[in-house]
Structure 1
Amino acid sequence: MTTTLQGKTILMSGGSRGIGLAIALRAAADGANIVMLSKTDKPHPALQGTIHTAAEEIRAAGGQALAVVGDVRNDDDVLRAVLEAVGAFGGVDIVLNNASVINLSGTLELEPKRFDLMQDVNMRGTFMLSRAALPELLKAKNPHILSLSPPVSLDPRWLGAHTGYTLAKFGMSLATLGMAAEFGERGVAANTLWPKTTIRTAAVANILGGEELMRRSRTPEIYADAAYLVLTTPSRELNGRSLIVEDVLAEHGITDLSKYSPGVDESELFPDIFL
């Protein structure tokens, strides 16, 4: 394992709040540079945080931040984010595919525009942001692509539960694993990371289950700590894996996870989908 993310530049999609921001703050504690490509320029009535408040938190935590207002669906915005990262910090060491849209509607209920949005942000966004940054990653000393997406499974339980969303999330994973196979021999690691339990995010609160499910979920910091361990591992030693948050922590001797769900018994935690 490398010892730190100090001076490393992380290019991430999203990051205004939730898991992405937690990962950014963990990296910022080392003195990392965080470049966020996000549309969240102004406060949302139902969601906390903007790209600008996130940048302020990152700087307060000890890192440097660059807020790039744009859309991961827009190729010009994606290229601009890479160019601004290079201009500000000299390169890109890590790509974090964090931005994701969730819609659990069944096939007959899922409107075409909602389907397209999920595929464009989740799968296409992962592919295009990683692709745009690869020339810089290939020059980096310990380059990583990390996508927040699940292991690919042909279990009918997941294929049939919400086909549109499943396609979008598995698309993220397949794009990542494909790049692992294509660029691993050149030193670029590409892995996915997914939790065993639900995480306290806006999606859990507003879409999946409200306050009760939030209570039965772990904090985003568990994701952040696992991501940190992945990103500080030598890229040639960890590539093409569909990693699970709790397993990554266990591999590093962290088995007491109670701090990530304060006041909640382990038996009450709610399992996440896809596992």
Structure 2
Amino acid sequence: GPVAQNVKAEGAKTRDEFADLANSKTIPDQKTATGQNLTHYHSMFYRLLSWKNPRATGIAFASTVAFIFAARYLNLIRYIFKTSYLVLGATATAEIAGQLTIGRGLTSQFRPRQYFTIPKASLERLTDDFEQLINFFVIESQRIVFAENVYVTVAAFFASLISYFLIKWVPLWGLGLIATHIAFLGPLIYIKNKDVIDAQLEKGYTIANQQAQQVKGLANQHAGNAMKTVQGYTQQATAKAQETVNQYRGRSTSPEVKKQTLPSVPKHEPIAESSSEEEDEDEPVAQAAK
């Protein structure tokens, strides 16, 4: 009927989208800032999260959410051990019961002629895929840390900051659920509202650039004023220092010794004044006696 045809058509489209997603695992032409090649998981995750294959992306999103809830509410490890002991107990019981009843074990009758092995080529492909997956996370973490795309670095900063506060109240599986919704639904919201979001981002960038220019102008103005003030203080200090040095030099100079006129040494012996005075005294006495 028509329902079966629709289901068959949707199944075919889903298989085609998964095949296209698998074929997208090619190394992109874009290189890192250091000139290194990216991994083929960059192409695959970009195609997965960009919703270019909506059925495949939707199934991957639903499967991730289901796995998180299963890990939270189902004790998967316990169920794995339970399945293991049931299977091993059934095979051992069948083998022993067969040997006791019909002389040969029942389990051994289903043993294949050759055990299954993984081909070397498959192991090499698996190892290569695992190595590419590990390098995807290693390269992306370094690109974020070293700000190859500053917007991605800022987004990672806010995500880490919000997670730091949320971890106090939200359990780890809750953070994983939130991160899954953001990783899958964030690009879808951007794709559906690309023009509006780009316009708002451009407006915000313009405003931020204007504010940065104003801050830069004010900083240059204050720096110029401060430089002039420092130069003025420096000139004043230099002038005072020069004046002090000149004054110090003036005081330290020895004054010239004035030459005093000394009396000349007499060349002849001086006449005794006492004898002349006695003669002068005797002369009036003699005149009085006469």
Question: What TM-score, normalized to structure 2?
Answer: 0.19
More helix by share: 2
